[in-house]
Amino acid sequence: MPIRTASLHRQIHRNGVKLHRAIEQRLASDGGERPASEREHALLEERRRLKEAQAQRHEEAAHPKPKAAPAARVARPAKEAKPKAPKAEKAGKDAARPADAKDKGAKAAKDHKSRAEKAAQKAEALAASRRTSKPAAKPGKH
């Protein structure tokens, strides 16, 4: 099972403490004459393995990780307009309306003035006020 990256430093530290205690215990009991025990060899081997794993992870972290290619976007096909069925006329409301109101094409003039018509009317009013001898009244004053 892989060892977590964040736990390697702490594991190396704990291993070092155990190794130090084993060495101190050996030196206190027999002095420096006795060779290292199996426990010390196992701790040294584990420490070496942990440090190698840590160095390998540092090396891997120095290089950028491979990224997945971005997903290609596929355009959706456009929806086809379905022909609408003609609506059935309502008998109750059509009888009450006059004949020319039903026909939308019969409307001769607009109910409002266009922007150009309004500007032309304003220009005519300005020209007419210049022609008169009396100055035009200013709005807002009584």
Instruction: Give pLDDT tens digits along the chain (142 positions).
Output: 555 556 789 999 999 999 999 989 888 887 777 888 889 999 999 999 999 999 998 898 889 888 888 888 888 888 888 888 888 877 765 555 555 555 555 555 667 889 999 999 999 999 998 887 665 567 665 5
pTM of the model: 0.42
**CA 58: distance to chain centroid?**
32
Q: Which two three-digit tokens encode residue 26?
A: 């050996």
How many Å apart are CA 18 and CA 43, to the nearest integer?
A: 8
Residue 121: how many CA atoms within 13 Å on its side-chain side? 6
Q: Which two three-digit tokens encode residue 129?
A: 């006020």
**CA 130: distance to chain centroid?**
61
What DSSP line would sit under 16-85, residue for residue? HHHHHHHHHHHHHHHTT-SPPPHHHHHHHHHHHHHHHHHHHHHHHHHSPPP-PPPPPP-PPPPPPPPPPP
How many Å apart are CA 25 and CA 43, to the nearest integer?
A: 14
